[in-house]
Structure 1
Amino acid sequence: MDRQLWQSYLDIGIQHNLWPDQLYTMTKTNDFDLCKQYVTNYIQNNKKQLNHCQFELTKQEQQFQTCSIKELSFEHMGRRLKELVNRERKYLSKRNNDKLIKFKNDISGKQLLKTISTASLMKNQPNEFCNQLITIREKQAEIWKEQLMLEIRILCKFLPPNFDHLENFISSICLFTIE
């Protein structure tokens, strides 16, 4: 699914002849072709890793067939594994769709900025429109940052069970120190 996501990035980037700023930052260049090469290399490396994992899985499957497990039936294990795979597939699909939407929005934002900067309106009132765009982008970046931090905390199981209690405690300390 990761390879499909990056293949979509490549297709969209080539179609619009543009990459989001995040990709330019990752590649440490503003050159379109170098970014394209970076994405292509990432996809190729991903394919190699997938092939290696499939090889290892096949090897382990052959070793597993020689073992005998008496406590759980193969049908029960197979059913549970399918449930796990389906859950993970749904999660990855949602995550990739969210990333793809963000990628498309970044491309659209860059195209819009390019269009606006070349329009005659910008010649008449450049500061007003630029300041509005900058404010919107800063707010958008802050929201994305907050969402990313929450996702990272959840993915890392960083949030303790008593998180709400801690948040209220911290808020009350902050209010106490302000007063």
Structure 2
Amino acid sequence: MTGKRNDVDPVEVERWITARIAKHKGTPVFVELGKRLAARREKYAHAQQASLEFLKELFALARDTVAAEKAAAGVPPEEQGKRRSPNSSNPSRAKTPPIIVENVVNEVDEVVRAVRFSGWQDTYEGDRLVQQALRKTLYIKFKIRDNDVFIRALDYIREYY
């Protein structure tokens, strides 16, 4: 792949979640999401959570944040489905995720970009191609046979690609 790559990594996803939650300070559902994010950071910082579990929870938290925003009508139509990575950094952010998580996310990003096409989410063939590429990446390349990770990653891809 030539040119500048727009890889998605867990740190970017975490920053994105933090920025989105911060837009809704004081709203109970977003306060709860913020507490969940803080708990994930704490677990991860104390090495009580495996990389795979961290990845699962990060995908679930990203999905729940988008759902909460949509429910609160806080996402304008032109931003739905866009991938965003705010440039603001959070000084309270935990250590960066292990390299395996970053490698998985980068590889998934690369294969999805290679097989997707405009409007792929609205066609059976497009969805099937993305699912096959994701399965091949997770199951074969990284030996991650956890269906929960697959489902969460697929939900994330459907939302942001």
* TM-score for the superposition, normalised by structure 2: 0.28
Q: Which has the larger radius of gyration?
A: 1
Q: Which structure features the higher share of helix residues?
A: 1
By relative contact order (CA 8 Å, sep 6+), the higher-ranking structure is 2
